[in-house]
Amino acid sequence: MDKTTDTLARYVTSLRYQDLSPRAVREAKRHLIDSLGCAMGGHGSEPAVIARRLAPEWNGASSARLLGVGRPTTPEAAAFANSVMIRFLDANDTYIARGSGHPSDMLGALLAAAECQGASGKDLLLALVAGYEVFGALADQISLRDRGWDQGVFVAPAAAAGAGLLLGLSATQMAEAIAIAATANVATRQTRAGELSMWKGCATAAATKAGLFAAQLAREGMTGPTAAFEGRHGVGEQVTGPFEIGELGGRDRSFAVERTNFKSFAAEYHAQAPLATALALRDKVRLDEIEAIDVQIYAMAHSEIGSEPAKWDPQTRETADHSLPYMLAVAWQDGRITPASFEPRRYLDPSLRPLMNRIRVAENPEFTRRFPQELPSQIDVVTRSGQRFTGRAEYPKGHARNPMTDADVATKFRDLSADVLGAARVDAVLQAQGMGRAISVAFARAGADIVASDVATGGTRNENEEGLAEIRLGWKGLESLAGEIQGLGRKVLTLVGDVSRAADAERFVKDALARFGRIDVLVNNAAAPHGADRRLLWEVPEEAWDLVIDVNLKGTFLMSRAVIPHMLSRGSGRIVNMASVAGKRGTARRGAYAASKFGVIGLTQALAQEVAAHGITVNAICPGSVDTSRRESTSRRERALAEREPGAPVLSLPPTGRIARPDDIARLALFFASAASDHITGQAWNVDGGAVMH
């Protein structure tokens, strides 16, 4: 293989989760949730409907589901359809360098590969970082736009790399996959010239599908060209010109995912800064006062959104979201830019044309010189009376140097997803870990100040993790939880450590007392991640057993032991332990989990008797299935297991017809903490819709 292919393949296959910086992990989670929100926003679009209509029904072991409907199909069809959804609104992320594009376009392939493989959350995050790194490595060195080629040249090899990592390719196989993807997916930029069609949002989805297929072929033994980039008639000679891959992420260099930008508006990326400037100027200049609007931007932006006649008279949605004159006119008239701004009734509205015709867009050579390190733009508004108002911007909201907050990303996800998922499901996704977050927020809403703890991201205690949902769409984590609690007007202390370690448990209590002076309620909610413990008992590794017992049972003991002396000194307190219906009825392939939860119930009853005379109650909550991301991955694994081994347990609905939600658990925790439960102690109450009635 040539040097470029070999460098990328060896880098990707040698990358490990522990190599990722905390910031890279955090940004990977943020980009994933942002992309899923974009997919939900594009779910009802005509291109997405067409893609789903062509996706065949496929219930085999290697199936993947269509986002928003859950119907299983082939991995390739899922990769294409889901990437079409992600891309349609033009709201997904953007990488800006010598070349540019949308790395998240590849996520359809990664999600499909992850589901087929039953991959863990860590696996998916690692693949995302690796895929973005390949995309960035190419975009850093190659300017496709000037040569008339499209960004699929970046997307296909990146998708092959990320999907190949999930498929377990060796370095040799990875090189074959990258070579196949690179040589077979050279698309022209006509897709993004003149009046744009539906294919504008589908071209990279096709490259994504091809990247996944290249990885599948390589896994089966298919070989690719040996000099895909550097050889005769290769990508370098025919498409990009000579280039050399620079330093890749890790050690002292940031990862590409950390340098990838979010969009605050559902519009072409180079319009982000001018739109924000226009909305700010709108407060100073009335629409009927405008004589002319002069926009100065850098060459790439001018070429993309302000240089062709079609931009002043868009006839398609795709042209409208790549038309700076149109978007500025809508922003000035409506005071906002949303997905609804690109409906036909809006972009065909003749009332917008007079203002659009007063908008002039020009390249500023100085701005071009400063690009891509900066994204400068300037808008000058001249009024009929001759006044001039000027606005400038260098880094739009969402740029790596002007980042969106976690709350911004969550709000964007909520706005884009609500119509498809519904408010309750959106809340469930954004609640991340699920029960812990729901309980913390419920107590804050009830007027409590909160101390919340979690293990460090990427800690070794999570090596048992296997389920896709253990990605913890609580990407938001403690930082975001703290922001939400503070937004409710309550104080919060966040702590990092491991409840199964005595020193950490004692430190948690000490720090909480130092901050707040007292502890009224302890909720023991820490849970070991599922994984290697979910096997037949004689197949469970000792370390997997120990992890579950240590976190679930020993952690409950250590935290209770640490807080009891304080509660005894005050003559009051409430302890709420998170058990499970599995602690009342053991189930095959959950031996460690059942043992830990039986233990929690026994500990609850014993401790309740020991402290009852001191004004302290101790109770346990026993959830059944709870609608969190963890439950989704668990049920998926069980369905796959049942296909292989008839008789294996599969989760089913309880008599109430639905599984529990995190807020169901939170309400009972609040009750056990309230005065209404003064005479209730030593109890283990089920919250399972009647699945287990004792």
Distances in Å between the Cα of 296 and the Cα atoms of 271, 374, 499 are: 12, 14, 56
Q: Which residues of 253-263 are buried (b: 16+ CB within 10 A; e: fewer)?
A: eebbbbbbbbb
pLDDT at 60: 77
pLDDT at 632: 45
In three-state secondary structure terms, 312 is helix
In three-state secondary structure terms, 250 is strand
pLDDT at 461: 42
Q: Please list the ranges in the chain whose pLDDT falls under 50.
A: 457-476, 629-648, 650
Catalytic residues: 593
pLDDT at 631: 47
pLDDT at 476: 43
pLDDT at 626: 82
Query: Which runs of E-coded beta strand occur in 511-558?
Result: 521-524
DSSP 8-state secondary structure symbol assigned to residue 239: I
Q: What secondary structure does DSSP assign to 336-401, as a single string?
A: ---GGGGSHHHHT-GGGHHHHTTEEEEE-HHHHHHTTT---EEEEEEETTS-EEEEEESS-TTSTT
In three-state secondary structure terms, 293 is strand
Question: Whole-angstrom Cα distance, residue 382 to residue 293?
Answer: 6
Strand partners, 574: 521, 617
pLDDT at 436: 87
In this structure, what token pair is assigned to residue 581? 């219906």
ω into residue 372 within 30 of 0, thus cis?
yes
Rounded to 10 degrees, the C-alpha dihedral 185/188/191/195 comes to -170
Which amino acid is residue 670, in one-letter code? L
Residue 472 in contact with residue 436, Cβ under 8 Å?
no
Q: Is residue 287 classed exposed, middle or buried when 0-12, 13-18 and 19+ CB atoms within 10 A define those classes?
A: exposed
In three-state secondary structure terms, 169 is coil
Tell me the domains of the chain and their CATH numbers.
Answer: 3-261 (1.10.4100.10), 269-393 (3.30.1330.120), 497-687 (3.40.50.720)
pLDDT tens by residue, 518-544: 999 999 999 887 778 889 999 999 999
Report, in this order, helix, strand and coil percent for the chain, each rounded to 5: 55, 10, 35
pLDDT at 177: 99
In this structure, what token pair is assigned to residue 370? 């400063």
Strand partners, 391: 379
Question: Whole-angstrom Cα distance, residue 204 to residue 206?
Answer: 5
Which amino acid is residue 53, in one-letter code? R
Residue 85 in contact with residue 39, Cβ under 8 Å?
yes
In three-state secondary structure terms, 146 is helix
pLDDT at 380: 98
Reduced 3-state DSSP string for 566-626 = HHHHHCCEEEEEECCHHHCCCCCCCHHHHHHHHHHHHHHHHHHHHHHHHCEEEEEEEECCE
Residue 204 in contact with residue 151, Cβ under 8 Å?
yes
Closest C-alpha among 578, 563, 574, 579 to residue 617: 574
Beta strands across the sheet bearing 359-363: 359-363, 290-297, 377-383, 388-393
Tell me the backbone φ, ψ of residue 498, rounded to 5 degrees.
-125, 115
Question: Whole-angstrom Cα distance, residue 406 to residue 392?
Answer: 26
pLDDT tens by residue, 377-424: 999 999 999 999 999 999 999 999 999 988 889 889 999 999 998 876
Closest C-alpha among 84, 154, 82, 152 to residue 115: 82
